[in-house]
Amino acid sequence: MKKILLPLALCCVTSVAIAEDVEYGWSGSASAGLTMTSGNTDTTNAVLDAYIKNETERARHNYFANLLNAEDTGTKTGDRFLAGYKYDYKLSDVSYIWVEGRYEQDKFSSYENQLIGSTGYGRKVLNDDWNQLDIEAGIGYRTSDVREVPIGAITPAAIELFDAAGNSISGPVAPDPATPTAGYSEDEMVFRGAMFYTRKINDTASFVQNIVVISGSSNTAIDSKTAISAKVAGNIGLEAAYIVKHNTDVSVGSDKTDTTTALSLVYGF
């Protein structure tokens, strides 16, 4: 059974407004989702998301926060919090300089938490009545608290050896010294690249494809969001999304790729 969850890192990014239709001032959205199943498995998934933007003639201020909690048959399977701020300084109608800071805490990843600060250049490659495409590239710094592996959790493997007479001389093999048994921090420079594409389907519906890559020496994280959203009535809308989160380096026993199907009720203002 696939779980229905709200996207995190990428759900904070909204469509870029068409240049001639920019409205200055405050705007944003808030969304909430709750799914429950019973039977062979009992699952509960709750998500909250908020995004606020302040658009001025020369800049955009973007604030975002997300909270996720998931349980499967009484066992918690998701517990994540994300909050951040992104500042865009407009150089022209099509180019801008951005600065972003974000904090993420995820109890089911290889990291206790991550703090990332980055800056770079962005450009509107497409900006017409039907298509908006932003491309961003820059550098930053990432501080990660690697999750602790409890002492004794690593069981030495046994290797079967025999002497000339055929007698077993098996012995334990010590764990790899490089394997962490206690939490530690990783600090590194990173590259951040991003693509945000919105295709207007009609006056009430749109298609979104967003990709964000944050790459450093210890790990490359790739987040992709594919979504279709539609207004239902007034400021109320629905969004269906497919999320892919991939990490090149993960702890033993963790999957490199997570996929999420998301359905959320959105209130825009």
Each residue of 8-20: pLDDT tens digit? 434 443 333 334 4
CA angle at 62 for the pair 58 and 68, rounded to the nearest 5°: 170
Do the domain assignments include residue 68? Answer: yes
Residue 82 has pLDDT above 50, yes or no: yes
Asked, for residue 252, whether it belongs to a domain, the answer is yes
pLDDT at residue 207, rounded to an integer? 96
Q: Which of 14-28, 57-71, 254-268 has the lowest mean pLDDT?
A: 14-28
Q: Is 256 a domain residue?
A: yes
Per the domain annotation, does 67 fall within a domain?
Answer: yes
What pLDDT score was predicted for residue 89?
97
Nearest alpha-carbon partner for 6 in 178, 248, 243: 243
Contact criterion met (CB below 8 Å) for 122 and 97: yes
Domain-embedded: residue 53: yes
**186 or 160, which is more confident:** 186
The answer to the question of residue 170 being in a domain is no
CA distances from 261 to 11, 24, 70, 160, 244 (A): 12, 33, 14, 46, 9
Neighbours of 206 (CB within 10 A): 20
Q: Given this model, what pLDDT does residue 23 score?
A: 78
Count of the separate structural domains present in the chain: 1
Q: Which helix (H) or strand (E) holds 116?
A: strand 111-127
Whether the pLDDT of residue 109 is over 70: the answer is yes
* 159 inside domain: no
Strands 205-215 and 75-90, bridge-based pairing = unpaired
pLDDT of residue 149: 57
Domain that holds residue 203: 19-148+188-268
In a domain, 124, yes or no: yes
Residue 38 identity (one-letter amino acid): S
Average the pLDDT over each of 77-81, 164-168, 193-197, 223-227 and give the range with the smallest value. 164-168
**Nearest partner of 48 among 96, 94, 95, 80, judged by Cα:** 80
Question: How many other C-beta atoms are found inside a 10 Å radius of the C-beta of residue 101?
Answer: 15
Residues 154/179, Cβ–Cβ less than 8 Å: yes
CATH assignment at residue 23: 2.40.160.40
pLDDT exceeds 60 at position 121: yes
- Which pTM does this prediction carry? 0.74
